[in-house]
Amino acid sequence: MQKLDVVLGLQWGDEGKGKIVDVLTPEYDVVARFQGGPNAGHSIYFGDKSFVLHTVPSGIFRPNTYNIIGNGVVVDPIILMKEIHDLEQMGVDVKSKLYISKRAHLILPTHRLLDVASEKAKGDKKVGTTGKGIGPTYTDKIARVGLRMGDLLLPDFKERYDALTNEHLARMGKDTAVDHEEWLNAVKELVEKFKDNFVESEIVVNKWLQEDKRILAEGAQGSLLDIDFGSYPFVTSSNTLCAGACTGLGVAPSHIGKVYGIFKAYCTRVGSGPFPTELNDETGEQLRRLGHEFGATTGRPRRCGWLDLVALKHTITLNAANSLIMMKSDVLDGFDTIKVCVGYQTKDGKTLDYFPMYVEEMDITPVYKEFPGWKTDTTSCRSYDELPKELRDYIEFIEKETGVSIDIVSVGPNRDNTIVR
Ligand code: GDP
Ligand code: IMO
Ligand code: MG
């Protein structure tokens, strides 16, 4: 039986998962999303075209690859239909390549409103969510009252929808304005066009693995946003770690193969919460400007800072990542000095070499190791040997510290700005 490979983010999301999944797709028969929803924004560049995917897996642009939205994903039909229309406009045949789990939960318009209302009520303690209704949808899933993709096919779906949205409105105020029409129209079109693509994805995925088909699971968000192991409560509402691929697709842990861990050569974070190496200075501004660090989903400026090896080692362990992919090292091309955090110094003088549980404990000062910059444009490099020595030293230091090899280095947003070692 074939094993399922996983690609996931080792930081706070936006590591470049979309690009790498698109690059790796030709090696696979199937690409599957297993958690998260339209809070994700996965950018893909090829030639002079670019696209941001929110719900559809990043294998969709390659011919001969099936794409599955797994049971662990939460789906907003409005966003999904818009994405499908945009893909079709680009000439992508979505209908013949996309399957959707009947068990995937639906994001209702009231979930979005609840998300926004809950953030507003938190004031300056807000999580800084994407406002896509992710938290409230997963809350209903766990409370066993949510609606699923397969429920759209039931004769009493509208009654179930009314009951749940009324319950939400009772919490928010009955006169809260809700656009039911737009959502129900999207659902109607989704069912009309894609009913035959609704599947029991756990059965399909396991059958394909038995038939020796190669499947790549595409994570969303990042390991430090995991509901259990991220900096709670400043996290998303799903398991973003490798374990999420098992529950989000119905695949047993013994069937997990390669785990590709993706990280940026520096760090970014959108939304609130601890970020030990954050730079609120001209260097942080430079990283944001050169890395175009603005959210692919919300357009918000991303917080930027140096690479954090303490956090990286922690997430490599939690995922048992056995192949690393380093993204966006080209953004550092012009820096004189590059810093890497190798420890956390607490207020009472201790040095932590692990990622602590309590947010308050994160009142720490990073201990940095400095590297000389390479001051060379690397975007046209296509082999490891072509990279400047200073960058190779940086890569090899990270490999030594983490004990895992960096098998791919990405030196630009396009498919071909990629070095496979
Ligand atoms: P994802 O959510 O993990 O798929 O990442 P995003 O798409 O949200 O953010 C990554 C951004 O970096 C996108 O704009 C990508 O086009 C861009 N990108 C990806 N890899 C590279 C790279 O190696 N160099 C540069 N300069 N940009 C990259
Ligand atoms: P991709 O897949 C970066 C962040 C939000 C917020 C927290 C909770 O593109 O890497 P949510 O809307 O999920 O309830 O927000 O998680 N967040 C992301 N940050 N990339 C993402 O996805 C994210 N998805 C959610 O900014 O801090
Ligand atoms: Mg993103």
The pLDDT of residue 331 is 98
**Counting atoms of ligand 2 from 1, which one is nearest the CA of 129?**
15
pLDDT in tens, 316-351: 999 999 999 999 999 999 999 999 999 999 888 888
The pLDDT of residue 382 is 97
Query: What DSSP character marks residue 107?
Result: P
- Helix, strand, coil percentages, rounded to 5, for the chain: 35, 20, 40
Mean local confidence (pLDDT), 76-95: 97
Q: Is the CB of 22 under 6 A from ligand 1?
A: no
pLDDT in tens, 201-231: 999 999 999 999 999 999 999 999 999 999 9
Amino acid identity of 193?
K
Whether the ω angle into residue 366 lies within 30 degrees of 0, i.e. cis, is no
Using alpha carbons, select from 114, 111, 68, 59 the residue that is nearest to residue 87: 59
Q: Give the chain's mean pLDDT.
A: 96
Q: Is the CB of 305 under 6 A from ligand 1?
A: no
Whole-number percent of the chain with pLDDT over 70: 100
Q: How far is the CA of 221 from the centre of ligand 3 (A)?
A: 7
**Counting atoms of ligand 1 from 1, which one is nearest the CA of 21?**
4
Q: Which residues belong to the active site?
A: 14, 42
Q: Are 267 and 329 in contact (CB under 8 A)?
A: no
Ligand nearest to the CA of 38: 2
Model confidence at 363, pLDDT cuts 50, 70, 90, reads confident
Q: Residue 359: pLDDT above 80?
A: no
pLDDT in tens, 50-62: 999 999 999 999 9
Mean local confidence (pLDDT), 356-364: 78
Model confidence at 245, pLDDT cuts 50, 70, 90, reads very high
Q: How far is the CA of 38 from the centre of ligand 1 (A)?
A: 17
Model confidence at 87, pLDDT cuts 50, 70, 90, reads very high
Ligand 2 atom 16, closest CA: 236
**Counting atoms of ligand 2 from 1, which one is nearest the CA of 39?**
24
